[in-house]
Structure formats: C-alpha cells, structure tokens
Structure 1
Amino acid sequence: MARNQEKVIITCAVTGSVHTPTMSPYLPLTPDEIARQAIEAAEAGAAILHLHARNPADGSPSPDPMIFDQFVPVIRAATDAVINITTGGSTRMTLEERLAYPLQLKPEMCSLNMGSMNFSIHTAARRIKQWNYGWEQPYVEGMEDLIFRNTFKDIKHILQVLGDGCGTRFEFECYDLGHLYNLAHFVDEGLIKGPLFIQSIYGILGGMGPDPENLVTMRTTADRLFGRDGYRFSVLGAGRHQMPLLTMAAVMGGNVRVGLEDSLYIGKGELARSCAEQVRKIRRILSELSLEVATPAEAREMLGLKGADAVAA
C-alpha cells in the first residue's frame, strides 16, 4: 500500500444542495455568506473550492447563473483557489439547469457524478421538529422517492460540451465501485484523458458505506483500472465519518475534501461554525502526519488544469 507521497490537495465544498437551513445556522445561504466562507476556506489552506448556489430568500438550492454571478466573481477576485462548479446541482434539477452556469463560466474544474443513483438523507427529517422554511421538510423527505440521474448519455454530453468544448477538467465523483468502472469505460472510449482526479465518496445513503475496507477496495480497484500513476485519489466522508476517513486517505497517499456540504460538524455533537474551521482541522491532522498541503498553483499543475486566466469573465 505504501507509495510516494505528494503534497495533499484540500478541496472545500462550501454549501452543497443536501443540507437545509434548519440543520445548521452556520450553513452559508446567501451570496455574501457563500463568498465569505469560500474565501476563508482558501485562506485556511483549501486549494479547490467546490461551489453550489442557493436562493438567498430561503436557502433552497438554485441553478440560476445570476445567483452564481453574485459570489463567484467575488471569490475569484479575493483568492487564487481553483473554482470548481457543480454539475450535480440537486436531484430536482434538469441536466440543462445543472449545466447552465458551468457553460457560462467555463471553469477550470467541475464535479461530475459517474452514474445515476439513489441519493437520500430522508431519515434526517425524523430528528427535526420545527423547520425554518416551508420547502425544507418536503425537500428532505421527498428524497426517498427520487433518483439522481446521470446516464451514460448524460455523462458523455457533459464531457463533450464542457470538457472538450470549454477545456474544463473534472472532479469525478464516485459513490460506488461501479462508478470507477463507468469512469474506465469513458477513458477506454477516448472521451477522458488523464490526469484523473477521482473523488471517492462514503457514507451517503444509496452509495458506499463508510467502512475503511471500502476505501481500500476503491483505491486498489482504481490502481488496477488506471495504474498508480494514471490518477489522483481523494476522499469525501459524509457526516461524522469525515475526519476519520480523510485521515486514512492521507495515510494512503490520497487527497481530502471537507466543507459544510459534506458534514455540518467539527466534532461529536458540535456544529462547525464555518468551512474554514474544517479546513484548519484537517490541515492540523495532515501536519501531524508530516504531510504538506498543496497550494492552488501546485494543485493546478498536479491536475493539468487550464489556469484561472482561461476562465470566462
């Protein structure tokens, strides 16, 4: 399992589309809040900022490019971090909605879910007695009967219009072992070229469980499919599994992802007050492991990105 250790890329997923305002008062909802937390996360050591948008009136997920435009330029002006725009959006968005802002911005990087799947936190609704906004309860409970769609045709379309058409590279989100084989299919088809950045995800209902053995299986399978030098591996642990799995990933030579999209907590029963708090915590852990953190410039070189100057204004 031992391998040469490069600097570790920290990705920060700032707000996402899964958690709702009632779940944490610290979840960034408005453009100002998203920009502030993203900038603080970059200052704390995040080289990549993974971004979603929300309706500032009620915190509901939104694909509206006009909302993205209220915070992305602010972040770009304040930091040199890599801007990574979601193409996943939420389970309630169409493919066209999910691609609207990425096709406008032509960013250095976007996320790309490598398959359709059940994706749900509907059981979380049982713990909430009173909701802040009327949309939240049906949104969370409704996940039980929704599928996140990314067919082979959808993925091919995204690779062509955003990858080939805009020079954008991808954070390939793999929630299950089969998603690695889907990725290998597109590599074999010549639609994806390295270096690959694989974000393996654990602890989401509908995907892989947070068992350490699953992380080992994903890593060894990726080695077999892409060769040890053909990809860079990163780990996302959902909820309370965030820091333990990220620590394991770092020991195995991987990269890490934190942020309030993935977990609302900084410790047992303690809500994180910001994304930067999580970035600082994983950075302390990496330091204790004698590992160095990659700068945005180093992350760009490691991932073969086109550079911030090639992003649309």
Structure 2
Amino acid sequence: MSPHLPITPDEIAVQAIEAAEAGAAILHLHARNPEDGSPSFDPAIYRQFLPRIHAATDAVINITTGGSITMTLDQRLAAAIDVSTEMASCNMGSMNFGSFPVLEKLKTFKYAWERDYIEGTRSNIFRNTFADIEQVFERLGRGHGTRFEFECYDVGHLYTLKHFVDRGLVQGPIFLQFVLGVLGGIGADPENLVHMKRIADKLFGDSYQWSVLGAGKHQIPLITQAALMGGNVRVGLEDSLSISSGVLATSNAEQVRLIRDVLETLGLDIATPQEAREMLGLKGRDQTRLS
C-alpha cells in the first residue's frame, strides 16, 4: 500500500539508521523476503541488516517475536535468539488480528501472496497462548537476558502480564506498549487510552514504563495524548503509512521527526538510547551477538 515501505535488507538498514539519527532511541524491526516482501523469520536475512544498524547507531535493537500469523513459535523466536537481542516485542495473548477490511478498498496487489494473506486474517488468529508466552520468557528472557516490549492490545492483556509478574516470570522495570486501533483489539479512543493507563497503574503501581501505538490515522493524536499523560511514543510505517491526512510518509524517519517536533514544542525531553537502556534495565549492546 506504500512504495516507501522498506523491504530489502538494505532498505531496512537505511531507514532504521535514518530513524535513529532523527531521534528514535529504540528500533523495532521485522524482516521480509527481499524477493517478494513477504514476512520472514530467517535469521540469515536479519543478519543482513542488524549488524549494519548496530555498527552505525547506538539505538536499542528490538526484534519482533510476533512475526506473522503464519509462523510457528520456533520461527518467531529464531532471529531474536540468534543475536541474543537486548529487547524483543511480546504480544500478551492470542487474538483476532483483522486487516481484511482493507480488501474493500485495495483491488490491486504488487505481490501474489498478499491478497490471500490479508483474507486469511478473517479466519486465522495470532496465537500466543499462556504456554507460548512461558516459552518466550524461558528461552529468550531467562536464556538471553532479553527484556520485553509487552504489547497489550486490550485490557485483558494487562491482567495476563500481571499473572506472569505474580508468578515471578517477569521482573521490573516493565515496559508496556498500549496498542489501540487494531481490529480485534481495543478501539483507538482517547477514553480507552485513559482506561488502559488507569488499569496499568492499578496492577503495576509506579514500577513500569509505558508507550502507545496508535494504528493508522490515530497514530499522532493518540501518541501526543500519551506524551501529555507522561508516557512514551512509538511511530513507524508498521503502524501508519501516512504523515498527514491522505499523504504517505516517505520514511520512518519522517514520522520520527514529526513527533519529535511535537514533543519538543510541548517542552518534553527526547531520551537518548543510553537513557532508554537505563530506564528499561537492558543488558547493554555489548551483551548481544552483534558486538
């Protein structure tokens, strides 16, 4: 849906480095098959861009363990384990993850796999059971000292995380990513953001950091609200393809620059990568297999 989405390892590296130079402290990364743009779990593809990003920036590298609805748990963990990453995302539950409504507007496709993949979100779920999450914590968290961006698509995901905290499988500081606006998860309403924050306060007190992912057109309004509430922000072409109404963003860095301007106008400080590491209790870039 956008010619500006990075697909090849070179494109991903260039856009990640530009985003870091624009002020992003954390870079959340997926890999794609460079031949057709389809989601990839192959550590060999990740290794075509991760070392380059690591060498060129001080940013925290945050690798997905979500991948896609078609991947097994072993596949979703493969790249993060391969490089013993500082940080990884962790979806806090199985859920419907519906992108199929886009088929009502999108009639032509660049690659053959895309239509069936999107239609598949009508009948398939993204799976992350309690047993799956336990494996993520054991194999990646305990096994590699990786800490997590806990992606919470609904209020129940916060209670699931609290369950793992109570069992001692998760220790602070906790980093919550409230995800609003994905079909199947909580809606992108300002009231829902306030509610998510209220429940997080109830469950985790003051021992957590938090950020907001606003899907699509909700990106900038919701993350600006989050910043005014004391949270952190996330932007990127994974979440929204636009820079303003009807205008495609030409890069991830363009979105970073936009929200940085908003935040600095509001008198807020932009964390450096090292400050982010200290806030989140990360093990450090020298403890990865990219050093």
* TM-score, normalised relative to structure 2: 0.99
Residue 247, structure 1, aligned to residue 214, structure 2: no
- 1:295 maps to amino acid: T
Identity %: 66
Q: What secondary structure is seen at the aligned counterpart in 2 of 1:161? A: helix
Q: Give the structure, 1 or 2, with the largest relative contact order (CA under 8 Å, sep 6 or more).
A: 1
What does 1:172-187 align with in structure 2 at a 5 Å threshold? 172-187=150-165
Q: What is the aligned partner in structure 1 of residue 276 from structure 2?
A: 299
- 1:39 maps to amino acid: I
Q: What is the CA–CA distance in structure 1 between the aligned matches of 2:194 and 2:209, rounded to whole Å?
A: 15
Q: What is the aligned partner in structure 2 of residue 101 from structure 1?
A: 79
Q: What is the aligned partner in structure 1 of residue 95 from structure 2?
A: 117
Q: What is the CA–CA distance in structure 1 between the aligned matches of 2:143 and 2:44, rounded to whole Å?
A: 22
Of 23, 29, 33, which aligns to 1:55? Answer: 33
Task: Kindly state the Cα deviation for residue 142 of structure 1 after the two structures are TM-superposed.
Answer: 1.4
Residue 126, structure 1, aligned to residue 104, structure 2: yes
Of 140, 148, 164, which aligns to 1:162? Answer: 140
Residue 143, structure 1, aligned to residue 118, structure 2: no
Q: What is the aligned partner in structure 1 of residue 172 from structure 2?
A: 194
CA deviations over 1:54-92 (Å, ceiling 9, x no partner)? 000010100011100100011001001000000000001
- 1:297 maps to amino acid: Q
Q: What is the CA–CA distance in structure 1 between the aligned matches of 2:273 and 2:46, rounded to whole Å?
A: 21
Q: What is the CA–CA distance in structure 2 between the aligned matches of 1:147 and 1:129, rounded to whole Å?
A: 24
- 2:120 maps to amino acid: G
* Mean Cα deviation higher: 136-145 or 170-179: 136-145
* TM-score, normalised relative to structure 1: 0.92
Q: What is the aligned partner in structure 2 of residue 264 from structure 1?
A: 241
Q: What is the aligned partner in structure 2 of residue 232 from structure 1?
A: 209
After TM superposition, the runs of 4+ consecutive aligned structure 1 residues lying more than 4 A away are none
Q: What is the CA–CA distance in structure 2 between the aligned matches of 1:30 and 1:258, rounded to whole Å?
A: 20
Q: What is the CA–CA distance in structure 2 between the aligned matches of 1:263 and 1:171, rounded to whole Å?
A: 19
Task: Kindly state the Cα deviation for residue 126 of structure 1 after the two structures are TM-superposed.
Answer: 1.7
Task: Kindly state the Cα deviation for residue 200 of structure 1 after the two structures are TM-superposed.
Answer: 0.4
Q: What is the aligned partner in structure 2 of residue 19 from structure 1?
A: none
Q: What is the CA–CA distance in structure 2 between the aligned matches of 1:120 and 1:34, rounded to whole Å?
A: 25
Q: What is the CA–CA distance in structure 1 between the aligned matches of 2:82 and 2:259, rounded to whole Å?
A: 33
- 2:131 maps to amino acid: K
* Structure 2: gaps of 5 or more residues: none
Residue 281, structure 1, aligned to residue 261, structure 2: no
- 1:107 maps to amino acid: T
Task: Kindly state the Cα deviation for residue 176 of structure 1 after the two structures are TM-superposed.
Answer: 0.2
Q: What is the CA–CA distance in structure 1 between the aligned matches of 2:98 and 2:258, rounded to whole Å?
A: 27
Task: Kindly state the Cα deviation for residue 133 of structure 1 after the two structures are TM-superposed.
Answer: 1.0
Task: Kindly state the Cα deviation for residue 129 of structure 1 after the two structures are TM-superposed.
Answer: 2.1
Residue 217, structure 1, aligned to residue 224, structure 2: no
CA deviations over 1:263-306 (Å, ceiling 9, x no partner)? 00000000000000000000011011100100000000000000
Q: What secondary structure is seen at the aligned counterpart in 2 of 1:125? A: helix
- 1:97 maps to amino acid: Q
Q: What secondary structure is seen at the aligned counterpart in 2 of 1:258? A: coil
Aligned length: 290
Q: What is the CA–CA distance in structure 1 between the aligned matches of 2:242 and 2:150, rounded to whole Å?
A: 25
